[in-house]
Amino acid sequence: MYRYDEFDHRLVSTRVEQFRGQVERRLSGALDEDEFKPLRLMNGLYLQLHAYMLRVAVPYGVLSSRQMRMLAHIARVYDKGYGHFTTRQNIQYNWPRLEDVPDILQDLASVEMHAMQTSGNCIRNVTADHYAGATADELEDPRICSEIIRQWSTLHPEFSFLPRKFKIAVTGSPHDRAAIRVHDIGVAVVRNGAGDTGYQIYVGGGQGRTPMIAEKICDFLPPEDLLSYLESILRVYNRYGRRDNLYKARIKILVHALGAEEMRHQVEEEFAAIRTQDSLRLPEEEMSRIEAYFAPPSFEDLSADTPVLDAARAASSDLADFIKTNVSDHRMPGYKIVNVSLKPTGGAPGDASADQMDALAEMTARYSFDEIRVTHEQNLTLPHVRAEDIPALYESLRAHGLASANIGLVTDQIACPGLDFCNLANARSIPLAQNISERFADLKRQHDIGALKIKISGCINACGHHHVGHIGILGVDKKGTEHYQLSLGGSADENTSLAAITGPSFTENEIVDAVETVVDTYITLRHEGESFIETYRRCGMDPFKEKLYGTD
């Protein structure tokens, strides 16, 4: 994984000391909140309903055991003993004291982490496929491209005050696990007819109050032109993006207003003017230098046969369930990808305690070449585990409450912090997710239902990605009471689709029953082997709507 060089260390250390001085001036009264707000936001510090919230960047979701231990330390010493992993592969702490934040940032810097560009109208943390470097269908490791983008975009002076926040995601596989088409820019690694590797570029996707799917504006971009092309997109956006209306400021609105062809024309015109600039052209030696950080670990030469794992699976139905949902194939014989669910029955999606993070750090070092990933679906992934180690790893996970066998199932929900923490929210998300989790707690029933993604947002800002949930739930305020709008048919993979609203919203007491009605309707409609989203796309909204609201 990437290691800081001397410039990274100096930049992050300098930033910590700058913010320490700013906090001291705020605490002394030399700065009022209006003056302090832009300074704290540039360091990932929000002011929420009850306390400050610190969002820590995890570039493309990759952590070492040393970094995970530091996250546990911060949760234990400075917060209330837990952290919340987010849909941008970051981690948030909901209860830090303002006077402690400079020390937190200093501790983070000691393990090559920071909180810069996790808020504000700048290029945010770059996200990527959490199976990077491990899956057989990968054309190129997306962490290489993501790290290049991270270095280019960090404190970029031209793009530090964009019309609105800007999000970039990268996938290295045809199967999109990074949701690239609901990002401002989506980058997909592809190969052309000559067998050369390059990038497809999508622009103008996003969720929020006006959800849109990104348009493809470049079929094949040579790697050396990546930064020139991204800079061209950002320049067009910076020039024409609306700054007069907060709700129309995202690039998706500009792409929609111009049309994809005109957006492509504008970008290509800018690209033609800047592509020859040496400062933006990626030399081969620099790409090789970055690529070397992501060289594969020292895999053993193992057989594809896994007799130890097969015997353990045959002896334990619990382990068999875990393998069925939480373990994926690895590109190397004898290795597996192990996903760790942060969605126990009745738990808050994405939360992990300090003790659990310490335990995960130990497992990362012991079983996965010292690497663990944060997924955009608020889970964790150990990317390189020997198949024969899975029984022992499973026992360790189970001992720490981390062995829920529900990845991709109905209880593996995404949920934003909602009204329990967020001052933008209209309704609570976490208690609803907990109630749904308890309603569908029977693991046999979950496995019978099969793949089903429920995504919950507490307001129209869509931090819980409800627009791309197979079942999406949006919290709304109706005359001071919490209601929930239900939508169906969303997806964030290579077949991205936006969910459609079923009809009138449901009360807090009705919404879990409504979700169960949708699930039961799917069970009666499905064909043999058909998933929820496949059934919905075949049958459409009508049969679900009829069951939810009855006929006229």
**Distance, CA of 528 to CA of 334 (rounded, Å):** 32
Evaluate if residue 552 carries a pLDDT over 60: no
Residue-wise pLDDT tens digits, 118-131: 999 999 999 999 99
Strand partners, 475: 484
Lowest mean pLDDT among 236-240, 287-291, 537-541: 287-291
Lowest mean pLDDT among 200-209, 230-239, 414-423: 414-423
DSSP states of 53-118 as a string? EEEE--GGGEE-HHHHHHHHHHHHHHSSSEEEE-TTS-EEES---GGGHHHHHHHHHTTT---TTS
State the average pLDDT for the chain: 96
Tokens found for residue 66: 């040393």
Contact 234, 222 (CB under 8 A): no
Residue-wise pLDDT tens digits, 369-405: 999 999 999 999 999 999 999 999 999 999 999 999 9
**Distance, CA of 24 to CA of 270 (rounded, Å):** 44
Judged on CB neighbours under 10 Å (0-12, 13-18, 19+), 301 is exposed
DSSP states of 174-200 as a string? SS-SS-GGGSSEEEEEEE-TTS-EEEE
Give the containing element (helix H, strand E) for 218.
Answer: strand 215-221
Tokens found for residue 192: 């052309």
Q: What is the pLDDT of residue 3?
A: 83
Strands 127-128 and 168-171: parallel
CA angle 262, 267, 271 (to 5 degrees): 145
- In which region does residue 89 sit, left (phi positive, over 0), alpha (psi from -120 to 50) or beta (all else)? left
Residue-wise pLDDT tens digits, 263-294: 999 999 999 999 877 777 888 888 899 999 99
Strand partners, 410: none
Residue-wise pLDDT tens digits, 450-471: 999 999 999 999 999 999 999 9
Evaluate if residue 488 carries a pLDDT over 80: yes
Tokens found for residue 499: 């969910």
Tokens found for residue 293: 């950080």
Evaluate if residue 494 carries a pLDDT over 90: yes
**E strands within 330-453?**
335-340, 351-353, 372-374, 380-386, 414-415
Judged on CB neighbours under 10 Å (0-12, 13-18, 19+), 160 is middle
Residue-wise pLDDT tens digits, 309-334: 999 999 999 999 999 999 999 999 99
Q: What residues contact 327, with CB distance under 8 A and at least 6 apart?
A: 336, 337, 338, 339, 390
Contact 342, 349 (CB under 8 A): yes
Q: What is the largest distance, in Å, between two alpha-carbon atoms of the chain?
A: 69
What's the number of CA atoms in the CB half-sphere (13 Å) around residue 250? 25
Residue-wise pLDDT tens digits, 216-232: 999 999 999 999 999 99
Evaluate if residue 501 carries a pLDDT over 90: yes
Q: How confident is the model at residue 551 (pLDDT cuts 50, 70, 90)?
A: low
Q: Return the SS3 of 313.
A: helix
Strand partners, 91: 56, 85
- In which region does residue 101 sit, left (phi positive, over 0), alpha (psi from -120 to 50) or beta (all else)? alpha
Between 479 and 268, residue with greater pLDDT: 268
Q: What residues contact 204, with CB distance under 8 A and at least 6 apart?
A: 184, 212, 214, 215, 251, 252, 254, 255, 256, 260, 263
pLDDT (mean) for 79-87: 97
The predicted model scores a pTM of 0.95
- What is the percentage of the chain residues whose pLDDT exceeds 70? 100
Evaluate if residue 445 carries a pLDDT over 70: yes
Contact 216, 274 (CB under 8 A): no
